[in-house]
Structure 1
Amino acid sequence: MKHLFVTGTDTGIGKTIVSAWLCKHWEADYWKPVQSGLEGGSDSEWVARLSHARIHPETHRLTQPLSPHQAAEIDGVKIQLSDFELPQTERLVVEGAGGSLVPLNWRDTMLDLMKHLGSCALLVARSGLGTINHTCLSLQALKGAGVPVLGVILVGEVNSANREAIQHFGEVPVLAELPVFNEISEQALSDFGMPERLLRALNSL
Protein backbone atom coordinates (compact mmCIF):
# COMPACT_ATOMS: atom_id res chain seq x y z
CA MET A 1 0.00 0.00 0.00
CA LYS A 2 1.22 3.49 -0.86
CA HIS A 3 0.41 6.16 1.70
CA LEU A 4 1.44 9.72 2.44
CA PHE A 5 1.09 11.90 5.55
CA VAL A 6 0.17 15.51 4.74
CA THR A 7 1.41 17.91 7.41
CA GLY A 8 1.84 21.68 7.47
CA THR A 9 3.89 24.54 8.79
CA ASP A 10 0.82 25.90 10.60
CA THR A 11 -2.92 25.55 11.08
CA GLY A 12 -5.04 26.85 8.20
CA ILE A 13 -2.18 26.43 5.77
CA GLY A 14 -4.24 24.60 3.14
CA LYS A 15 -3.65 20.95 4.08
CA THR A 16 -7.26 19.90 3.52
CA ILE A 17 -7.46 21.47 0.04
CA VAL A 18 -4.12 19.92 -0.87
CA SER A 19 -5.31 16.56 0.49
CA ALA A 20 -8.50 16.72 -1.59
CA TRP A 21 -6.46 17.68 -4.67
CA LEU A 22 -4.09 14.77 -4.07
CA CYS A 23 -6.99 12.34 -3.63
CA LYS A 24 -8.58 13.63 -6.84
CA HIS A 25 -5.53 13.34 -9.08
CA TRP A 26 -3.73 10.40 -7.44
CA GLU A 27 -7.00 8.48 -7.07
CA ALA A 28 -6.35 7.86 -3.38
CA ASP A 29 -8.50 7.27 -0.29
CA TYR A 30 -8.49 9.78 2.57
CA TRP A 31 -8.04 9.39 6.31
CA LYS A 32 -7.94 12.04 9.05
CA PRO A 33 -6.73 10.25 12.21
CA VAL A 34 -7.77 13.07 14.56
CA GLN A 35 -10.46 15.66 13.82
CA SER A 36 -10.43 18.63 16.20
CA GLY A 37 -13.58 20.74 15.85
CA LEU A 38 -16.85 19.59 14.31
CA GLU A 39 -18.79 22.83 13.85
CA GLY A 40 -19.02 23.81 10.19
CA GLY A 41 -18.20 20.32 8.96
CA SER A 42 -15.20 18.04 9.33
CA ASP A 43 -12.17 17.88 7.04
CA SER A 44 -13.34 14.43 5.92
CA GLU A 45 -16.65 15.92 4.78
CA TRP A 46 -14.82 18.65 2.86
CA VAL A 47 -12.55 16.16 1.11
CA ALA A 48 -15.51 13.93 0.24
CA ARG A 49 -17.32 16.85 -1.41
CA LEU A 50 -14.26 18.11 -3.27
CA SER A 51 -12.78 14.84 -4.48
CA HIS A 52 -15.38 12.08 -4.07
CA ALA A 53 -12.59 10.02 -2.55
CA ARG A 54 -13.33 7.03 -0.34
CA ILE A 55 -13.24 8.35 3.22
CA HIS A 56 -12.04 6.23 6.14
CA PRO A 57 -13.54 7.22 9.51
CA GLU A 58 -11.51 9.26 11.97
CA THR A 59 -10.06 7.42 14.95
CA HIS A 60 -10.89 10.38 17.19
CA ARG A 61 -13.55 13.05 16.55
CA LEU A 62 -13.10 15.89 19.05
CA THR A 63 -15.68 18.62 19.44
CA GLN A 64 -13.43 21.65 20.01
CA PRO A 65 -11.22 23.37 17.35
CA LEU A 66 -8.12 23.15 19.53
CA SER A 67 -4.86 21.22 19.66
CA PRO A 68 -5.77 17.52 19.95
CA HIS A 69 -4.30 17.16 23.43
CA GLN A 70 -6.41 20.07 24.71
CA ALA A 71 -9.56 19.10 22.80
CA ALA A 72 -9.25 15.53 24.07
CA GLU A 73 -9.02 16.68 27.67
CA ILE A 74 -12.20 18.74 27.27
CA ASP A 75 -14.03 15.76 25.75
CA GLY A 76 -12.70 13.33 28.35
CA VAL A 77 -10.77 11.33 25.77
CA LYS A 78 -7.32 9.78 26.15
CA ILE A 79 -5.38 9.63 22.89
CA GLN A 80 -2.68 6.98 22.58
CA LEU A 81 -0.52 6.01 19.61
CA SER A 82 -1.81 2.45 19.92
CA ASP A 83 -5.27 3.78 18.94
CA PHE A 84 -4.12 4.31 15.35
CA GLU A 85 -3.82 1.78 12.57
CA LEU A 86 -3.60 2.55 8.86
CA PRO A 87 -6.73 1.66 6.88
CA GLN A 88 -5.90 -0.96 4.29
CA THR A 89 -6.27 0.24 0.73
CA GLU A 90 -4.18 0.72 -2.41
CA ARG A 91 -3.42 4.43 -2.03
CA LEU A 92 -4.05 6.61 1.02
CA VAL A 93 -3.67 10.30 1.87
CA VAL A 94 -3.42 10.85 5.62
CA GLU A 95 -3.99 14.39 6.88
CA GLY A 96 -2.57 15.48 10.21
CA ALA A 97 -3.99 18.08 12.57
CA GLY A 98 -2.06 21.36 12.50
CA GLY A 99 1.71 21.22 12.21
CA SER A 100 4.25 18.47 12.85
CA LEU A 101 4.84 19.27 16.52
CA VAL A 102 1.18 19.58 17.51
CA PRO A 103 0.67 17.39 20.60
CA LEU A 104 -1.71 14.43 20.68
CA ASN A 105 -1.26 14.07 24.43
CA TRP A 106 1.34 15.19 26.97
CA ARG A 107 3.90 12.77 25.51
CA ASP A 108 3.33 12.30 21.77
CA THR A 109 3.10 14.69 18.83
CA MET A 110 2.12 14.41 15.17
CA LEU A 111 5.74 13.45 14.51
CA ASP A 112 5.33 10.43 16.76
CA LEU A 113 2.14 9.49 14.90
CA MET A 114 3.97 9.66 11.57
CA LYS A 115 6.69 7.37 12.94
CA HIS A 116 4.09 5.01 14.44
CA LEU A 117 2.36 4.71 11.06
CA GLY A 118 5.62 4.40 9.13
CA SER A 119 4.69 7.40 7.01
CA CYS A 120 6.51 9.58 4.54
CA ALA A 121 5.62 13.25 5.00
CA LEU A 122 4.54 15.86 2.48
CA LEU A 123 4.86 19.36 3.93
CA VAL A 124 2.36 22.07 2.96
CA ALA A 125 3.56 25.67 3.38
CA ARG A 126 2.61 29.19 2.36
CA SER A 127 4.48 30.68 -0.56
CA GLY A 128 4.82 34.21 0.83
CA LEU A 129 6.94 36.17 3.29
CA GLY A 130 8.07 34.17 6.32
CA THR A 131 7.75 30.80 4.68
CA ILE A 132 11.49 30.07 4.43
CA ASN A 133 11.95 30.07 8.20
CA HIS A 134 8.73 28.18 9.00
CA THR A 135 9.28 25.60 6.28
CA CYS A 136 12.93 24.93 7.04
CA LEU A 137 12.24 24.62 10.78
CA SER A 138 9.47 22.11 10.05
CA LEU A 139 11.77 20.17 7.73
CA GLN A 140 14.45 20.07 10.43
CA ALA A 141 11.94 18.69 12.92
CA LEU A 142 10.77 16.00 10.50
CA LYS A 143 14.26 14.93 9.53
CA GLY A 144 15.48 15.07 13.13
CA ALA A 145 12.71 12.68 14.13
CA GLY A 146 13.70 10.29 11.35
CA VAL A 147 10.55 10.89 9.29
CA PRO A 148 11.27 10.71 5.54
CA VAL A 149 10.10 13.76 3.59
CA LEU A 150 8.80 13.41 0.04
CA GLY A 151 8.88 17.17 -0.55
CA VAL A 152 7.03 20.45 -0.13
CA ILE A 153 3.87 21.88 -1.67
CA LEU A 154 3.59 25.68 -1.65
CA VAL A 155 0.18 27.37 -1.51
CA GLY A 156 -0.35 30.95 -2.66
CA GLU A 157 1.04 33.31 -5.28
CA VAL A 158 4.04 31.85 -7.07
CA ASN A 159 7.26 33.05 -5.45
CA SER A 160 10.30 31.65 -7.25
CA ALA A 161 12.80 33.16 -4.79
CA ASN A 162 11.15 31.47 -1.80
CA ARG A 163 10.83 28.22 -3.73
CA GLU A 164 14.53 28.20 -4.57
CA ALA A 165 15.54 29.07 -1.00
CA ILE A 166 13.40 26.28 0.46
CA GLN A 167 14.87 23.75 -1.96
CA HIS A 168 18.41 24.95 -1.21
CA PHE A 169 18.28 25.29 2.59
CA GLY A 170 15.64 22.63 3.22
CA GLU A 171 17.34 20.16 0.87
CA VAL A 172 14.01 18.83 -0.44
CA PRO A 173 12.16 19.43 -3.71
CA VAL A 174 9.16 21.72 -4.05
CA LEU A 175 6.89 19.27 -5.85
CA ALA A 176 3.92 21.54 -6.63
CA GLU A 177 2.66 25.12 -6.24
CA LEU A 178 -1.07 25.59 -5.75
CA PRO A 179 -2.92 28.90 -5.89
CA VAL A 180 -5.41 30.14 -3.33
CA PHE A 181 -8.51 29.22 -5.33
CA ASN A 182 -11.08 31.98 -5.84
CA GLU A 183 -13.73 29.28 -5.66
CA ILE A 184 -13.10 26.05 -3.80
CA SER A 185 -14.92 23.42 -5.82
CA GLU A 186 -14.41 19.96 -7.23
CA GLN A 187 -14.13 21.45 -10.70
CA ALA A 188 -11.43 23.93 -9.63
CA LEU A 189 -9.33 21.14 -8.11
CA SER A 190 -9.92 18.93 -11.12
CA ASP A 191 -8.85 21.66 -13.56
CA PHE A 192 -5.57 22.28 -11.73
CA GLY A 193 -3.43 19.41 -12.94
CA MET A 194 -0.80 17.50 -10.98
CA PRO A 195 2.82 18.18 -12.02
CA GLU A 196 4.66 15.19 -13.40
CA ARG A 197 7.40 15.58 -10.76
CA LEU A 198 4.84 15.14 -7.99
CA LEU A 199 3.20 12.16 -9.66
CA ARG A 200 6.59 10.47 -10.05
CA ALA A 201 7.39 11.11 -6.39
CA LEU A 202 4.04 9.70 -5.24
CA ASN A 203 4.40 6.61 -7.37
CA SER A 204 7.86 6.02 -5.91
CA LEU A 205 6.47 5.54 -2.39
Structure 2
Amino acid sequence: MSRNLFITGTGTDVGKTFAAGLIVKKLHDAGVRAAYYKAGMSGNERSADGTLIPGDALHVKNVSGIPQPIGEMSPYVYEHAYSPHLASRLEGNPVSFEKVREGFDQVSQKYDFVTMEGSGGITCPLDFDREELYLDQMVKRLGLSSVIVADAGLGTINYVVLTAEYMKNHGLPVKGVIFNQCHPGDVMEEDNIFMCEHLTGLPTIAKIKPGDTELEISAEDLMRLYD
Protein backbone atom coordinates (compact mmCIF):
# COMPACT_ATOMS: atom_id res chain seq x y z
CA MET A 1 0.00 0.00 0.00
CA SER A 2 1.08 3.53 -0.72
CA ARG A 3 1.91 6.45 1.49
CA ASN A 4 -0.48 9.30 0.78
CA LEU A 5 -0.83 13.08 0.98
CA PHE A 6 -3.68 15.43 0.12
CA ILE A 7 -3.15 18.81 -1.58
CA THR A 8 -5.76 21.43 -0.77
CA GLY A 9 -5.76 25.17 -1.31
CA THR A 10 -7.03 28.41 0.12
CA GLY A 11 -9.32 28.64 -2.90
CA THR A 12 -9.50 28.22 -6.67
CA ASP A 13 -6.56 29.14 -8.93
CA VAL A 14 -3.94 29.39 -6.18
CA GLY A 15 -1.69 26.82 -7.87
CA LYS A 16 -2.69 23.44 -6.44
CA THR A 17 -2.18 21.58 -9.71
CA PHE A 18 1.10 23.37 -10.42
CA ALA A 19 2.36 22.46 -6.94
CA ALA A 20 1.10 18.89 -7.29
CA GLY A 21 2.99 18.50 -10.56
CA LEU A 22 6.26 19.61 -8.95
CA ILE A 23 5.64 17.36 -5.94
CA VAL A 24 5.02 14.29 -8.09
CA LYS A 25 8.03 15.16 -10.27
CA LYS A 26 10.29 15.35 -7.22
CA LEU A 27 9.14 11.90 -6.08
CA HIS A 28 9.39 10.38 -9.56
CA ASP A 29 12.90 11.79 -10.07
CA ALA A 30 13.89 10.20 -6.75
CA GLY A 31 13.10 6.80 -8.21
CA VAL A 32 9.91 5.92 -6.35
CA ARG A 33 6.63 4.86 -7.96
CA ALA A 34 4.65 8.09 -7.71
CA ALA A 35 1.01 8.60 -8.68
CA TYR A 36 -1.56 11.39 -8.88
CA TYR A 37 -5.27 11.26 -8.10
CA LYS A 38 -8.16 13.73 -8.06
CA ALA A 39 -11.78 12.94 -7.27
CA GLY A 40 -13.34 15.38 -9.73
CA MET A 41 -11.87 17.61 -12.45
CA SER A 42 -13.93 20.52 -13.75
CA GLY A 43 -13.39 23.01 -16.56
CA ASN A 44 -11.98 20.57 -19.12
CA GLU A 45 -11.83 20.93 -22.89
CA ARG A 46 -12.97 18.38 -25.43
CA SER A 47 -10.78 16.67 -27.99
CA ALA A 48 -11.67 16.48 -31.69
CA ASP A 49 -13.71 13.32 -31.11
CA GLY A 50 -15.73 15.01 -28.34
CA THR A 51 -14.19 13.25 -25.36
CA LEU A 52 -13.19 15.31 -22.35
CA ILE A 53 -9.49 15.87 -21.73
CA PRO A 54 -8.64 15.77 -17.99
CA GLY A 55 -6.47 18.88 -18.01
CA ASP A 56 -5.12 18.75 -14.45
CA ALA A 57 -4.12 15.11 -14.80
CA LEU A 58 -2.48 15.79 -18.16
CA HIS A 59 -0.53 18.72 -16.69
CA VAL A 60 0.78 16.66 -13.77
CA LYS A 61 1.70 13.76 -16.05
CA ASN A 62 3.57 16.00 -18.49
CA VAL A 63 5.42 17.93 -15.78
CA SER A 64 6.36 14.92 -13.67
CA GLY A 65 7.06 12.36 -16.38
CA ILE A 66 5.25 9.60 -14.48
CA PRO A 67 4.09 6.60 -16.53
CA GLN A 68 0.74 6.37 -14.70
CA PRO A 69 -2.13 6.16 -17.22
CA ILE A 70 -4.39 9.21 -17.40
CA GLY A 71 -7.41 6.96 -16.92
CA GLU A 72 -6.30 6.09 -13.37
CA MET A 73 -6.05 9.69 -12.24
CA SER A 74 -9.68 10.74 -11.83
CA PRO A 75 -13.05 8.98 -11.88
CA TYR A 76 -14.99 12.18 -12.65
CA VAL A 77 -14.22 14.67 -15.43
CA TYR A 78 -16.53 17.61 -16.25
CA GLU A 79 -16.62 20.27 -18.94
CA HIS A 80 -18.11 23.16 -16.96
CA ALA A 81 -15.66 25.16 -14.83
CA TYR A 82 -17.86 24.85 -11.75
CA SER A 83 -17.54 22.92 -8.52
CA PRO A 84 -18.24 19.20 -9.14
CA HIS A 85 -21.68 19.29 -7.51
CA LEU A 86 -22.93 21.90 -9.98
CA ALA A 87 -21.03 20.57 -12.99
CA SER A 88 -22.55 17.12 -12.45
CA ARG A 89 -26.02 18.63 -12.02
CA LEU A 90 -25.70 20.03 -15.53
CA GLU A 91 -23.79 17.16 -17.13
CA GLY A 92 -24.84 14.11 -15.12
CA ASN A 93 -22.54 11.55 -13.46
CA PRO A 94 -22.53 12.91 -9.87
CA VAL A 95 -19.60 12.13 -7.59
CA SER A 96 -19.97 9.03 -5.44
CA PHE A 97 -17.65 8.59 -2.48
CA GLU A 98 -17.57 4.83 -2.99
CA LYS A 99 -16.38 5.23 -6.58
CA VAL A 100 -13.76 7.77 -5.48
CA ARG A 101 -12.53 5.42 -2.77
CA GLU A 102 -12.48 2.46 -5.15
CA GLY A 103 -10.27 4.35 -7.59
CA PHE A 104 -8.06 5.66 -4.80
CA ASP A 105 -7.61 2.18 -3.35
CA GLN A 106 -6.66 0.77 -6.74
CA VAL A 107 -4.01 3.45 -7.24
CA SER A 108 -2.76 2.98 -3.67
CA GLN A 109 -2.15 -0.70 -4.31
CA LYS A 110 0.00 -0.04 -7.39
CA TYR A 111 2.23 2.87 -6.33
CA ASP A 112 4.56 3.86 -3.47
CA PHE A 113 3.40 7.49 -3.04
CA VAL A 114 0.00 8.87 -4.01
CA THR A 115 -0.56 12.63 -4.18
CA MET A 116 -4.28 13.45 -4.18
CA GLU A 117 -5.41 16.93 -5.19
CA GLY A 118 -8.65 18.58 -4.16
CA SER A 119 -11.09 20.73 -6.10
CA GLY A 120 -11.12 24.40 -5.08
CA GLY A 121 -10.86 24.95 -1.33
CA ILE A 122 -11.38 22.49 1.50
CA THR A 123 -15.16 23.07 1.75
CA CYS A 124 -15.83 22.47 -1.95
CA PRO A 125 -19.08 20.55 -2.54
CA LEU A 126 -18.47 17.36 -4.53
CA ASP A 127 -22.12 16.30 -4.62
CA PHE A 128 -25.24 17.91 -3.21
CA ASP A 129 -28.25 16.40 -4.92
CA ARG A 130 -27.66 12.75 -4.05
CA GLU A 131 -25.42 12.18 -1.05
CA GLU A 132 -24.32 15.73 -0.05
CA LEU A 133 -20.58 15.14 -0.03
CA TYR A 134 -18.01 17.87 0.70
CA LEU A 135 -14.27 17.81 0.14
CA ASP A 136 -13.36 17.88 3.84
CA GLN A 137 -15.64 14.89 4.48
CA MET A 138 -13.93 12.92 1.72
CA VAL A 139 -10.46 13.74 3.05
CA LYS A 140 -11.45 12.65 6.55
CA ARG A 141 -13.05 9.41 5.37
CA LEU A 142 -9.93 8.56 3.37
CA GLY A 143 -7.75 9.29 6.42
CA LEU A 144 -5.46 11.75 4.64
CA SER A 145 -3.14 14.41 5.99
CA SER A 146 -2.94 17.59 3.95
CA VAL A 147 -0.71 20.35 2.67
CA ILE A 148 -2.27 23.77 2.02
CA VAL A 149 -1.29 25.63 -1.15
CA ALA A 150 -1.65 29.42 -1.00
CA ASP A 151 -0.77 32.39 -3.15
CA ALA A 152 1.95 34.44 -1.46
CA GLY A 153 0.35 37.78 -2.32
CA LEU A 154 -2.04 40.20 -0.70
CA GLY A 155 -4.86 38.63 1.32
CA THR A 156 -3.16 35.31 1.93
CA ILE A 157 -2.89 35.76 5.73
CA ASN A 158 -6.66 35.69 6.08
CA TYR A 159 -7.10 32.83 3.59
CA VAL A 160 -4.43 30.63 5.15
CA VAL A 161 -5.55 31.22 8.74
CA LEU A 162 -9.21 30.53 7.96
CA THR A 163 -8.36 27.36 6.02
CA ALA A 164 -6.01 26.10 8.71
CA GLU A 165 -8.48 26.81 11.52
CA TYR A 166 -11.34 25.15 9.66
CA MET A 167 -9.27 22.04 9.07
CA LYS A 168 -8.09 21.93 12.67
CA ASN A 169 -11.65 22.27 13.95
CA HIS A 170 -12.77 19.43 11.68
CA GLY A 171 -10.02 17.03 12.71
CA LEU A 172 -8.01 17.24 9.49
CA PRO A 173 -4.22 17.03 10.03
CA VAL A 174 -2.17 19.63 8.14
CA LYS A 175 1.57 19.18 7.55
CA GLY A 176 2.32 22.72 6.40
CA VAL A 177 1.89 25.33 3.67
CA ILE A 178 3.31 25.70 0.17
CA PHE A 179 3.35 29.31 -1.02
CA ASN A 180 2.97 29.88 -4.74
CA GLN A 181 3.91 32.91 -6.85
CA CYS A 182 6.73 33.97 -4.53
CA HIS A 183 9.07 36.77 -5.48
CA PRO A 184 12.34 36.74 -3.49
CA GLY A 185 12.92 40.02 -1.68
CA ASP A 186 9.28 41.11 -1.79
CA VAL A 187 8.76 42.56 1.69
CA MET A 188 4.98 42.05 1.70
CA GLU A 189 5.17 38.41 0.65
CA GLU A 190 7.89 37.67 3.18
CA ASP A 191 5.79 39.24 5.92
CA ASN A 192 2.71 37.33 4.73
CA ILE A 193 4.57 34.07 5.10
CA PHE A 194 5.91 35.02 8.54
CA MET A 195 2.45 35.98 9.77
CA CYS A 196 0.89 32.77 8.41
CA GLU A 197 3.50 30.72 10.24
CA HIS A 198 2.99 32.73 13.43
CA LEU A 199 -0.81 32.59 13.42
CA THR A 200 -1.23 28.95 12.40
CA GLY A 201 1.87 27.29 13.85
CA LEU A 202 2.32 25.55 10.48
CA PRO A 203 5.71 25.39 8.77
CA THR A 204 6.41 26.60 5.26
CA ILE A 205 7.19 23.51 3.20
CA ALA A 206 8.27 25.27 0.02
CA LYS A 207 8.10 28.57 -1.84
CA ILE A 208 7.37 28.36 -5.57
CA LYS A 209 8.57 31.17 -7.82
CA PRO A 210 6.98 31.94 -11.21
CA GLY A 211 8.44 29.58 -13.80
CA ASP A 212 9.93 27.13 -11.29
CA THR A 213 10.48 23.62 -12.65
CA GLU A 214 11.67 22.11 -9.37
CA LEU A 215 10.30 22.15 -5.85
CA GLU A 216 12.85 23.52 -3.37
CA ILE A 217 12.68 20.68 -0.87
CA SER A 218 14.69 17.48 -0.73
CA ALA A 219 12.99 14.29 -1.83
CA GLU A 220 13.65 12.82 1.61
CA ASP A 221 11.94 15.72 3.41
CA LEU A 222 9.07 15.56 0.95
CA MET A 223 8.57 11.85 1.54
CA ARG A 224 8.34 12.44 5.30
CA LEU A 225 5.12 14.40 4.73
CA TYR A 226 3.37 11.28 3.45
CA ASP A 227 1.52 8.93 5.81
Taking structure 1 as the reference length, the TM-score comes to 0.89
Give deviations 1:21-76, integer Å, cap 9, x for gaps. Answer: 00011222111221112217510011111111225231111121101100010112
**Aligned counterpart in structure 2 of residue 33 of structure 1, from 39, 42, 64:** 39
- Whether the 8 Å CA contact 2:176–2:202 is kept in 1: the answer is yes
| Conservation of the 8 A alpha-carbon contact between 1:81 and 1:116 | no
> What 5-or-longer segments of structure 2 have no aligned partner?
29-33, 47-52
The amino acid across from 1:19 in the alignment is A
Number of equivalent positions: 196
* TM-score (normalised: structure 2): 0.81
2:15 corresponds to: 14
Distance 1:97 1:193, change over 3 A: closer
Identity rate, percent: 27
Cα pair distance change 1:174/1:110, threshold 3 Å: same
Distance 1:102 1:193 in 2: 26
**Take 2:221 and 2:121, find their aligned partners in 1: how far apart are those partners?**
25
Match for residue 50 of structure 1? Answer: 63
Deviation (angstroms), 1:77: 2.1
Deviations 1:111-161 (A, max 9, x none): 111112111111000101100000110111111111110110001124221
Q: What SS does the aligned partner of 1:10 have?
A: coil
Q: Which residue of 1 aligns with 2:112?
A: 90
Where does residue 135 of structure 2 map in the other structure?
Answer: 110
Shift of 1:164: 1.1
Q: Which aligned pairs between 1:68-147 and structure 2 lie closer than 5 A?
A: 68-85=84-101, 86=104, 87-88=107-108, 89-106=111-128, 107-147=132-172
Amino acid across the alignment from 1:99? G
Asked whether 1:2 is paired with 2:27, we answer no
Partner of 2:177: 152
Distance in structure 2 (CA, Å) of the matches to 1:67 and 1:163: 28
Tell me which residue corresponds to 1:178. Answer: 208
- Cα offset for 1:202? 3.1
Letter in 2 for 1:128: G
Three-state SS of the structure 1 residue aligned to 2:126 is coil
Matches of 1:44 and 1:201, distance apart in 2: 21
Residues 1:164 and 2:194 aligned together: yes
Whole-angstrom CA distance in 2 between matches of 1:134 and 1:193: 22
Residues 25 and 194, structure 1, Cα contact 8 Å, conserved in 2: no
> Letter of the aligned partner of 2:8 in structure 1?
T
| Post-superposition offset of 1:84 | 1.5
| Alpha-carbon distance, 1:193 to partner | 4.4
**Higher Cα radius of gyration:** 2
Q: Tell me what 1:202 maps to.
A: 223
Deviation at 1:201, TM superposition (A): 5.2
SS at match of 2:13: coil
Tell me by how many angstroms 1:194 deviates.
3.0
